[in-house]
Chain A
Amino acid sequence: MPLGAALAVFAFPGRRAVVIAINALMGLPPVVVGLTVYLMLSRGGPLGVLGLLFTPGAMIVAQVILVMPIIAALTRQTVEDLWFEYREQLISLGVTPRRAVWTMLWDGRITLLTAFLAGFGRASAEVGAVIIVGGNIDHLTRVMTTAIALETSKGDLALALALGLVLLAVSFAVNAAAQILRDMVVRAQG
């Protein structure tokens, strides 16, 4: 989020290129990310010494790469709209660009909740990348989505379906909680 906000506030050469790149990365195919991270982390890869492949750490790396562009891009749009409105007033007060970034992240918090949910949605629905870099190891790197994929191919459709329902329920719960939070903030602060 700070990255997206900074992109909205700071003008620097190549800013447009970074914005376009981040927008494009929103549609990054998870399997490709998985493959790339796999190559980087595998024993022969440049980051192989870290020994991260087939660990939860590797999955976190892949998820961050997938989720960050979505959150950064949506944040940038929100903050840019706010900046357009606030710019002269904040400059008049003598606000530093750094402080302006935090001010707009805070004032845009209601809209930014949507960015957070979009990121959460992508991460929780993710299969392709995490199965490649995590290896779907039971009790270690098996998550709900990869378990569903495995159980489906094993033919245990009942278990797969049950897991799917649980995942849906979790997603609903998080979104409902976010909505309630948003309503509370709106009622309290406009």
Chain B
Amino acid sequence: MGTPTILPPTILPLAIEGLFYAVAGRALIESLSVEIAAGSRTVILGPNGAGKSLCLRLAHGLIVPTAGTVTWKGPGAAQAKLRQAMVFQRPVLLRRSAAANVSYALAVRGVPRAARPGRVEEALTRAGLAGLGDRPARMMSGGEQQKLALARAWALNPEVLFLDEPTASLDPAAVRAVETMIQAIHEGGTKIVMTTHDLGQAKRLADEVLFLHNGRLIERAPAKQFLNCPSTEQAAAFLRGEILV
């Protein structure tokens, strides 16, 4: 593996304080405060429209909050931008070959030209896409595209990886492949922060759950505890499969 042995100083924990996000006067995220620490896999769970995806985008710095702060508190915080990556629900792949997609990301992050082919090859192999490097990325199947998007993020060796509903529109085999990759990335020492509305996925992947509803953090608990005996009525209703309004 091409992972460097000397790890740069950590950027975690991530402190989110008093976060508000409003569009046209309507609050979509309300007074969200949470600290996300290294290690465990954090899964943001909640019904559609709860603000899960916004929450990730705010944490990753893609959108600017209306009020509140997102602060990386670790000693390596100055490098925070370069130590994160994100994979979207619908993979955004460049109109180039699979290998060029990974290579582009490495180039942007300042990986020297000579080191790129090896890391591209490694990334594609880890994603089960070995030998498909020359294929046009946009002509791959949905599952392959999402695996490629993950491989591209993984190739950057991020300390924190944000995943927004990474398996929402995939067939079961692709879901399994993507979940296996996420597990491997986690075992490689990357902090996973992902959203899902799929309880089964939360069961399989979560160490801790942040339960969001109507833009508010309703409950935060270790996954086992949350899934077995949630302490809030909304979470219990969600787990029973009721429709939350």
Contacts and interface: CB of A to CB of B under 8 A. Distances in A.
B139 interface: yes
> Does more than half of chain A's interface fall in helix, strand or loop, or is it mixed?
helix
A156 interface: no
Contact of A190 (B84, B88, B105, B136): B136
Given A91-B62, A92-B62, A99 B92 contact: no
A89 B92 contact: yes
A94 B108 contact: yes
Nearest to A99: B108
Interface string B180-218: 000000000000000000000000000000000000000
A85 interface: yes
A93 B105 contact: yes
Interface residues of A, number: 17
Contacts of B137: 190
Given A88-B62, A88-B88, A190-B136, A94 B96 contact: no
Contacts of A93: 85, 105, 108-109, 156
B26 to A, nearest CB: 21
Interface residues on B, range: 20 to 34
Contacts of B88: 88-89
Interface string A87-125: 011011111000100010001101000000000000000
A188 interface: yes
Interface of A: 85-86, 88-89, 91-95, 99, 103, 107-108, 110, 188-190
27 contacts: A86-B92, A88-B57, A88-B62, A88-B88, A88-B92, A89-B86, A89-B88, A89-B92, A92-B60, A92-B62, A92-B85, A92-B86, A93-B105, A93-B108, A93-B109, A94-B81, A94-B82, A95-B108, A103-B94, A107-B95, A188-B136, A189-B96, A189-B97, A189-B136, A190-B95, A190-B136, A190-B137
